[in-house]
Structure 1
């Protein structure tokens, strides 16, 4: 028995449970093993048994088909179980029921066998698994299908648009040649083919009111052919606990936050210049002049012509520096010379 993987499909319950949401099943069978997945689109349960585990359960439950009898019986057993859970069965020879187990769900399958054999009874013990499995097995593959179908639709819209352009030119050319294209095509829906394709109207035909979940699930998962979609790399197990890597809030206590920098339009280099001003020339202890660092003047685009004034002449700063001792003596001699000469004149003419 080769590997067979049944795509997601509604669980074929003999008696439907009205209180249950839509249930989807996926199964993978080989000649010696099987894996079952069941989901309600919120949770997921699974069971995967090896050859040894299948033989042990068959012996414990005394199944009508004994896989330990010979090598050929195990593939027959698994084939019957696959048929019981399949979506293509349409007879009354199979019953599938669902029950609540000790730690999960139990699927009980009963398959009618030819006489004198009794019915084959098998119980699948499904255990809950993490939500990452649901994402990898159901969500991501169908998201990939949605993305693929969207790309296909967009590509198809481009092709239709190009054909509309070519068709319009053909109709114009045939009309100029005196040919009645409408008569050639005929009436009804054929004539509508001459009109340009209205994408908005076409999309509106598929967009209506809200639909029930069960209706959507049945329409999507009851197809007879498995959709061809590109593979998707699944998430790792740590994705189910990604929030554990977040920083703790600190018990509601607000931490001190650094003040935000005030945003100024056109800041950039100007803001960096203001934060790190160019160091001025160091002022000595003997220098009384004070220097003031001023902000950058407003940009030229922000100044009006009236505010622009002609540059004024700059007078040299007043001479207020302290004089050296040698210069003081020389200045004193120069200042005292006229007074000394005047005193001599006064003595001579007195």
Structure 2
């Protein structure tokens, strides 16, 4: 992937702390205007990669090219990059408008241009009515918006976001996922987002890089990662899945692809691959019920059923023997097994 559409390229990037390798040979290309996410568990290397791109750390090896120029040895303030942190790092003694204006003032912007750009940034994040408040008078979501306005007002080529929704409660975090995507599309800045939350990554991203132990396991669009995981790690980390071994192949089966039927109902699963098992547990989760089934070969299978009387057969209790069916095409083979 080359050309003017690539705003950021990492080639062979490595970073170690003593004997521990945090990032091991990362290659990555981010396209201009993308909402690109680095996804992975704690300690997988995603945040270290972000810090290397921002300039807070220097790589031991490899290149970091921004708009075609290697910036690996350039200090953070000389890169056309801004960063939004999880704690937002707002100045408590300044108003919202003063916080947003701070970076522009440091660059020498004054007068009508300064006021206009601050007003525009606040309007973009829907904070135009809160310019005279101080951070202590804001909710968590409003502080997050203020931090974002302070970053986008500088019009960087690349905006880095280090788990900025991590401090918010679940409901507000979900609301802000839609807001972040709206803002990114409105301003057109390339977002590089770091999270361990798969829902955040799937709901907002153009593409996602899944990190594990300092390496990238797979880069793909959200649907591609979910439907066609390249490795067992990706299959287990992105969404819920069951790993099966059938016919010498390793298969990934997503829970919504599985249908359950009583043993006595021979027609309910016609045309599907069918096995039998015993229900180990049912967990009510609001919109659906999660059912764990121990198949006859010992595999623990994870299925979900919508909580709709028309869609959910009754009588599936713990210990019941059931028939389990799925379309053969719904089972994705790992490692090129077929």
Relative to the length of structure 1, the TM-score reads 0.18
Q: Indicate the structure whose relative CO is greater, using CA pairs within 8 Å and at least 6 residues apart.
A: 2
**Larger proportion of helix:** 1
Q: Which has the larger radius of gyration?
A: 1
